[in-house]
Amino acid sequence: MASITVRNLDETVKQALRLRAARHDRSMEEEARLLLADGVGEPDQRPMAAGGSNLPKPVGGADPDHAYPARGKRILLIIGGGIAAYKCLDLIRRLRERGVSVRPVLTRAGGEFVTPLSLGALAADRVFTDLFDREDEHDVGHIRLSREADLIVVAPATADFLAKMAGGHADDLASTVVLASDKPILVAPAMNPKMWQHPATVRNYATLESDGVHFIGPEAGEMAESDEAGTGRMAEPMAIVERIGVLLDTGPKPLAGRIAIVTSGPTHEPIDPVRYIANRSSGKQGHAIAAALARAGAQVKLISGPVNIADPAGVEVIHVETARQMHEAALGALPADIAVMVAAVADWRTDGAADEKIKKTASERTPRLALVENPDILAAVGHHERRPCLVVGFAAETEKIDKHGRGKLERKNADWIVANDVSPETGVMGGDANTIRLIRRDGIEAWPTLSKQAVAERLTERVVDYFAENTAHA
């Protein structure tokens, strides 16, 4: 934003920008920044009128998730005092991309980390800071703020703010808004690990949870302080976006009452304490499918191997490492109505992992690894006496995709096989897109190249259709 150079613009563009800036009583640079923040839509700095509509167009004219459940909703974002406050800038942008209106409330401590100017530019709305603002409080503005929103989000939520909420304090605008609200509240804590583990914070968390406050995070990782690590990092913006979508999802739930098992990610088969055998799976596709099934109303149990992505909101997650652990968890999750086996399970493991790191020495030959076959999770579920009504397997192939996929369907006793080409040049493994061939006993359905999110949505639609058509399973 700071690098905008108006003099380099085309003269016609500059003239239009000059007229627009004059109309709004702003500088050309400020007008350009607001245009970029608002996706070249008409910026509107007015407060939302009660019951009115001041909802944003998707930023940049793009809607990365047209099916986002919170699209058209209003979020009141309370920004607490912590280094993680900078993440709120990205959170606002991500929400507005999805057609969500965001109104910021900046605490005094939060103002030490981010400015009202940056928040207002991204939100395209006024930033509220003062409980005793004469302009706002003539009509009891803190009550209006709390009631006009569909959801209040506190991010980052410091230990101090959690204590205020738990104790019912209302000594500034942010805490007063929370206390006056009758809307759901989502809190994203962020603090030093010692503060998070302190008995007072533990008590406050339990109190708020019992009051019905929703939490996301904190996550484990490195802290801003040197040589500090542990649980206390604020959840990432996209994880918060996803949780907001779940909390505000009022769409139909055609899979309500159904139980779904989804496996996702790779498995790690240890060779020694520091080495392992694995597949190149990111878990993005499996996690997206679990989230899509949950949005359709299913009770989802996601069994995840080691991945570097956040757990999807609204699902029960069982974390495992090895194929044998995933096999045990999958069978332990039965009975279920739906099983979608997406995980790239390692086919083999070493016949006894070394207890100590295998050393490389000049005098010794390269060690030989004896491999044994891992349990076949899809086949175990497909042939189980408590087999789900619908069993879906994934076939990651590099050649003869239809032939290998149909063979897998028969061998594993699956109903469908989702087959895809994972050759290195496709970029599927670890990437964000997938080209699917849905193999069923009555034929093959070829899908165009889609994002993994879109694949998840389309597969969920097929699952919904399956149960609607097969009334015997309803």
Answer yes or no: are the C-beta atoms of 339 and 261 closer than 8 Å.
yes
Which domains, and CATH codes, for the chain? Answer: 35-247 (3.40.50.1950), 259-350+369-473 (3.40.50.10300)
Question: What is the number of H-type helices and E-type strands within the chain?
Answer: 16, 19
- The backbone torsions φ and ψ at residue 320, rounded to the nearest 5 degrees and listed phi first, read -135, 170
Tokens 């991010």 belong to: 155
For each of the chain's 474 residues, which pLDDT tens digit applies?
A: 334 455 566 666 666 666 565 544 556 666 666 666 544 333 333 333 333 334 444 443 334 445 688 888 999 999 999 899 999 999 999 999 899 999 999 999 999 999 999 999 999 888 988 766 555 544 445 677 878 899 999 999 999 999 999 999 988 899 999 998 889 999 999 999 999 999 999 999 999 999 999 999 898 887 777 677 888 999 999 889 989 988 998 878 899 999 999 999 999 999 999 899 998 888 999 999 999 999 899 999 999 999 988 888 889 999 999 999 999 999 999 999 999 999 999 999 998 888 888 888 776 777 888 899 999 999 999 999 999 999 999 987 777 888 888 889 999 999 999 988 776 666 556 567 788 889 998 889 988 888 888 899 999 999 999 998 886 555
Give the torsion sign (CA, 18, 23, 26, 31).
negative
How buried is 425 (Cβ within 10 angstroms: 0-12 exposed, 13-18 middle, 19+ buried)? exposed
What's the pLDDT score for residue 58? Answer: 44
Which residues lie closer than 8 Å to 46 by C-beta, 6 or more apart? 54, 126
| Largest Cα span, the chain | 85
3-state secondary structure of 239: helix
pLDDT for res 427: 58
Q: Is 413 a catalytic residue?
A: no
The residue annotated as part of the active site, out of 8, 54, 192, 279, is 279
Place of tokens 């496709």: 426
Q: Model-level pTM?
A: 0.67
Q: What is the 3 state secondary structure string of 397-441? A: ECCCHHHHHHHHHHHHCCCEEEEEECCHHHCCCCCCEEEEEEEEC
Q: Which helix (H) or strand (E) covers residue 326, if one does?
A: helix 323-332
Contact indicator for 105, 80 with CB cutoff of 8 Å: no
Residue 411 confidence (pLDDT): 92
What's the rounded Cα separation, in Å, for the pair 195 and 202?
A: 9
Whether 115 contacts 88, CB under 8 Å: no
What single letter denotes the amino acid at residue 412?
K
Q: What are phi and psi for residue 243, nearest 5 degrees?
A: -65, -40
User: In this structure, are residues 391 and 264 in contact, taking their beta carbons and an 8 Å threshold?
Assistant: no
3-state secondary structure of 453: helix
Contact 380, 331 (CB under 8 A): yes
Q: Give the Cβ contact number of residue 108 at 10 Å.
A: 12
Check residue 105 and give left, alpha or beta (phi > 0: left; psi -120 to 50: alpha): beta
**306 alpha-carbon distance from chain centroid:** 17
Which single residue is written with the structure tokens 């050309």?
Answer: 28
Q: Report the pLDDT value the prediction gives residue 396, as an integer from 0 to 100.
A: 76
Tell me the residue length of the chain: 474
Assess contact for 152 and 184: CB atoms under 8 A. Answer: yes
Two tokens at 101? Answer: 């209106």
Tokens in use for 273? 């304490």
Phi (first) and psi of residue 302, to 5 degrees: -100, 120
Q: Are 267 and 321 in contact (CB under 8 A)?
A: yes
Which H or E element spans position 375?
none
Token pair for 270: 């240890």
Tell me the pairing of strands 348-350 and 416-421: unpaired
Distance CA 34, CA 19 (A): 15
Residue listed under structure tokens 């069982």: 318
Q: How far apart are CA 296 and CA 273, in angstroms?
A: 41
pLDDT reported for residue 153: 96
Determine the Cα–Cα distance for residues 68 and 48; give it in Å rounded to an integer. Answer: 22
Give the integer Cα–Cα distance in Å for 165 and 168: 5
